[in-house]
């Protein structure tokens, strides 16, 4: 059949294929969450219900899109990482980011009432929306630096916010006064203010607030405690024994079984040190 005379409009579509063999980060961020969090009375500086909801929505996204190998979230943002080998949507940026951000938003709204009481219902025009961008990193080292940057940011902001709100709520100080006093302070100064004036040991604060949230596939039935490597040694050997050739049928069958047993988990742990990555080689190798 002949093309219609309108067909030429397709040629206006521009390619946005992302560079091959690079780690693709899709970072989403809540739009105007400063006022959104006030509208729904989020606890300051951290609302555990809001964070659990972010994590539930992110877990749903990771389950829904298997090409995602890890995600990291803090505050109103989440970074979703596609393994560098992904060919999903031919690596088209707009397709990848719009799928991630709309899936996330759909689950955020759907799961809202699981995390907030019935009297705090979402009402237009105060509905949650998120922006998104894609970023490509050529090496695993660059990707890890990106994730480390977000986790360090989480720590810096949380220490500041924890101190700020302790001075406001427990110290009865005004916002300008607190800002003035905190200007130019080091982490040690803030720890000292928290402990000296309010008896708060920052180390005892909730891990989810200090470290943010990591979402990934867990292939073991029981996750060993951080700091132990013995029980994982065997599985790690198997998981890193990546065949050069096309996997055999038994290998494929085994991989399928392992994947079926996998669960998507949320952890509040350090992802800056090697330990996290060494215990979970499938995240960087992309091979369960
Ligand atoms: P944007 O991203 O440019 O559209 O603007 P915002 O307002 O979303 O700003 P952003 O993303 O830089 O900062 C996140 C805001 O969300 C920040 O004002 C604090 C608020 N927020 C995030 N999580 C919580 C929480 O757990 N409790 C409270 N009270 N506020 C939160
Ligand atoms: Mg923003
Ligand atoms: Mg925001
Ligand atoms: Mg933000
Ligand atoms: Mg379609």
- One DSSP character per residue, 117-161 reads -TTS---TTS---EEEEEEEESSHHHHHHHHHHHHHHHHHHHHHH
- Report CA(273)–ligand 2 centroid distance (Å): 27
Atom of ligand 1 nearest to the CA of 77: 11
Write out the two tokens for 57: 């929505």
Distance CA 264, CA 192 (A): 38
Atom of ligand 1 nearest to the CA of 76: 22
CB 135 within 8 A of CB 84: no
Going by CA atoms, what residue is nearest to atom 23 of ligand 1? 75
What topology is assigned to 17-140 in CATH? Answer: Alpha-Beta Plaits (3.30.70)
For the segment 82-97, the average pLDDT, to the nearest whole number, is 98
Q: Is the pLDDT of residue 257 over 80?
A: no
Task: Write out pLDDT tens, residues 154-183.
Answer: 999 999 999 999 999 999 999 999 999 999
For the segment 32-57, the average pLDDT, to the nearest whole number, is 98
Higher confidence at residue 220 or residue 113? Answer: 113
- Report CA(48)–ligand 4 centroid distance (Å): 16
- Report CA(28)–ligand 3 centroid distance (Å): 9
Q: Where are the domains of the chain?
A: 17-140
Q: Is the pLDDT of residue 27 over 50?
A: yes
CB 267 within 8 A of CB 273: no
Cis bond leading into 45, ω under 30°?
yes
- Predicted complex ipTM exceeds 0.95: yes
Mean pLDDT, rounded, of the chain = 91
Distance CA 114, CA 129 (A): 18
């Amino acid at each position: 059949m002949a093309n219609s005379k309108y067909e030429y409009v397709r040629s206006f579509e521009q390619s946005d294929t992302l560079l091959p063999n690079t780690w693709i980060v899709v970072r989403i961020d809540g739009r105007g969450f400063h006022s959104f969090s006030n509208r729904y009375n989020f606890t300051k500086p951290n609302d555990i219900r809001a964070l659990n909801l972010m994590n539930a929505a992110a877990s749903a996204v990771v389950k829904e899109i298997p090409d995602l190998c890890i995600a990291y979230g803090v505050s109103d943002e989440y970074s979703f990482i596609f393994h560098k080998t992904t060919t999903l949507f031919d690596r088209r940026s707009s397709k990848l980011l719009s799928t991630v951000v709309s899936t996330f938003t759909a689950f955020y709204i759907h799961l809202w009432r699981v995390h907030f009481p019935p009297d705090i219902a979402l009402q237009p025009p105060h509905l949650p929306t998120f922006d998104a961008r894609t970023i490509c990193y050529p090496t695993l080292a660059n990707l890890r630096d990106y994730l480390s940057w977000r986790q360090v940011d989480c720590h810096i902001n949380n220490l500041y916010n924890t101190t700020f709100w302790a001075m406001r709520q427990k110290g009865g100080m005004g916002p300008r006064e607190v800002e003035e006093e905190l200007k130019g302070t080091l982490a040690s100064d803030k720890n000292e203010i928290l402990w000296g004036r309010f008896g708060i040991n920052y180390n005892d604060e909730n891990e989810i607030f200090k470290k943010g949230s990591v979402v990934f596939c867990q292939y073991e039935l029981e996750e060993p405690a951080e700091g132990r490597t013995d029980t994982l040694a065997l599985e790690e050997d198997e998981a890193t024994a990546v065949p050069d050739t096309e996997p055999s049928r038994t290998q494929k069958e085994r991989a399928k079984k392992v994947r079926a047993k996998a669960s998507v988990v949320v952890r509040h742990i350090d992802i800056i040190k090697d330990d996290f990555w060494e215990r979970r080689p499938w995240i960087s190798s992309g091979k369960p």
